[in-house]
């Protein structure tokens, strides 16, 4: 038997001598130059993802892709994306775990910070800003915009170079200043 495509045999779900029906799956073959990634995004973030959106992978590093399909259904709080990989690294393999980010918007000259645990999008959000020497943190209430699970856009109230506390500070929400040890 001969496959119509070149590639690497990934799986043969048959046993030697087993009879198969016409059209049955007898082997899975992956063409390494045409790999795709299945990426799951949180249900709340999926509403902003569009076909054609660029994807940047952290793992494996440097790999890029484009969203080919956004699954219309939600399963266990996530939506599956099918991503066509545009620059397949030589070490990439079928069924390899990947981690990536989907670009949903570009804001020129934007100020973004690591997303604090309690940060709320599109409005004022209290947080603590570290002092230059890192020994204290003052309470600030910047106005935030859109965000991702990792970062959030700052519309006003913070300056470039400000470092914010991203861990949970809810026990100290009434304190104007924290001493850092």
Whether 68 contacts 86, CB under 8 Å: no
Q: Look up the CATH number of domain 30-102.
A: 2.40.30
Within the chain, all domains assigned CATH 2.40.30 are found at 30-102
Distance of CA 47 to the CA centre of its chain: 14
Q: Which CATH architecture has domain 111-179?
A: Beta Barrel (2.40)
Cβ neighbors of 56 (< 8 A, separation 6 or more) are 63, 64, 100, 101, 103
Q: Is-contact 26 20, C-beta < 8 A?
A: yes
Q: If you average pLDDT over each of 72-76, 86-90, 105-109, which comes out highest?
A: 72-76
Phi first, then psi: what are they for 45, rounded to 5°?
Answer: -85, -25
The whole-number pLDDT of residue 89 equals: 79
Mean pLDDT calculated for residue range 79-86: 93
Band (150; pLDDT cuts 50, 70, 90): confident
Confidence of residue 32 (pLDDT cuts 50, 70, 90): low
Q: What is the mean pLDDT of the chain?
A: 89
Give the model's pLDDT for residue 33: 66
> What is the reported pTM?
0.66
Domain with CATH 2.40.420 in the chain: 111-179
Is residue 90 helix, strand or coil? coil
* Reported confidence tier of residue 176, pLDDT bands at 50, 70, 90: very high
């Amino acid at each position: 038997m001969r496959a119509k495509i070149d590639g690497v045999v990934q799986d043969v779900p048959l046993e030697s001598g087993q009879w198969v029906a016409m059209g049955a799956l007898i082997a899975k073959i992956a063409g390494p130059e045409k790999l795709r990634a299945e990426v799951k995004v949180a249900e709340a973030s999926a509403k902003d993802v569009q076909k054609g959106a660029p994807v940047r992978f952290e793992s494996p590093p440097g790999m890029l892709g484009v969203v080919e399909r956004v699954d219309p259904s939600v399963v266990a709080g996530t939506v599956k994306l099918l991503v066509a990989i545009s620059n397949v690294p030589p070490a990439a393999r079928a069924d390899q775990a990947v981690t990536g980010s989907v670009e949903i918007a570009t804001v020129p000259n934007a100020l973004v910070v690591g997303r604090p645990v309690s940060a709320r999008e599109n409005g004022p959000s209290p947080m603590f800003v570290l002092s230059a020497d890192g020994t204290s943190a003052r309470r600030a209430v910047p106005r935030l915009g859109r965000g991702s699970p990792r970062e959030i856009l700052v519309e006003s109230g913070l300056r470039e170079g400000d470092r914010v506390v991203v861990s949970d500070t809810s026990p100290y929400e009434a304190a104007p200043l924290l001493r850092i040890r």
